[in-house]
Copies of this chain bind each other. A is one copy, B any other.
Amino acid sequence: MTILVTGATGFVGQHVVEHLLATDSIRVIATARTEPSAGKTAGLSKVEFVPFDISTDWGDTDLFTYFGKPDAVIHLAWPGLPDYKSLAHIDTYWLQHYRFLTNLITNGLTNLTVTGTCLEYGLQSGCLSEDAPTQPTTAYGLAKDSLRKALELFIKNRTVSFKWVRLFYMFGKGQNPKSLLAQVEAAALRNEPVFNMSKGEQLRDYLPVTDVAKILIQTSLQQRITGIVNCCSGQPISVRALVERFMRENRYTMTLNLGYYPYPDYEPLAFWGDHRKLLNLLSNHD
């Protein structure tokens, strides 16, 4: 079978491509705005790469045929991150992605996996399950939430296996240099004695990006799976404990300057994903 991966040069995309290459009998087509740079993971050089910019006017092009009629699509592409508050998510990106995905479906795609975000839940605290009403408070969260709801209406009366994989927090190779653990690593490599961070008491739900990649692939491969799936550990961890664990594993010895930064205003202090649906999914195979 053939799987198209969009956003293939991104943090998650590179790992998805890498893991797809390790499976037998799957042909991978990767796409992103521009050809992968030399610094990206080796996986991308081994697959067919079809550059495509979703923000261009593709007119009446049948994108499903353009991408070689893939059996499934894992749609990771989304621009403008990590600026979650930019209104461009709402007034520009979401419609481009809605049109891109509905073009694929209209022209024959029957298996679509799209990544959502825990920011769809907004400021709700505690253990969040997929059936909780979404209440996004960021432009990015609202754009993703609207995209999902619009696609759900679009696929009514169509035979499409549509999965919405709601990402929580991730870490791993290729992560944004501005993300927390990347900054810890960079500071340690610069031999800085102190690392400035928030109080670190906020509880979050983290997965290694390699696990996220495997979950996305397994979700995509199961035609029977539909609807929202939290992509999460189900285990809240304080950000301080996460950093301390990472430092122990890497034998970094900096002092944490806790409380240097305030908490972000768009996240509750404690939330994590209900992972029961995910566990059920992972224990089933087509």
Contact = CB atoms under 8 A, between A and B. Distances in A.
Contacts of A154: 87
A90 B153 contact: yes
Interface stretch (A38-46, A132-140, A224-232): A132-140
Contacts of A85: 153
A154 B142 CA distance: 12
A98 B142 CA distance: 14
Nearest to A150: B90
A87 B154 CA distance: 7
A87 B95 CA distance: 12
Contacts of A135: 133
Interface size class of A (residues with CB under 8 A): 20 to 34
Given A133-B135, A135-B133, A87 B142 contact: no
Nearest to A137: B153
A99 interface: yes
A190 interface: no
A85 B156 CA distance: 11
B91 A99 contact: yes
A146 interface: yes
Contacts of A134: 133
Interface in A20-61: none
A91 B98 contact: yes
A87 B153 contact: yes
A178 interface: no
A55 to B, nearest CB: 15
Contacts of A102: 91
Nearest to A142: B149
A140 to B, nearest CB: 10
> Which one of A87, A90, A137 has the highest number of Cβ atoms from chain B below 10 Å of its Cβ?
A90
Contacts of A90: 98, 150, 153
A266 to B, nearest CB: 11
Contact of A133 (B95, B133, B138, B149): B133
Interface string A82-114: 000101001100010011001000000000000
Interface of A: 85, 87, 90-91, 95, 98-99, 102, 133-139, 142, 146, 149-150, 153-154
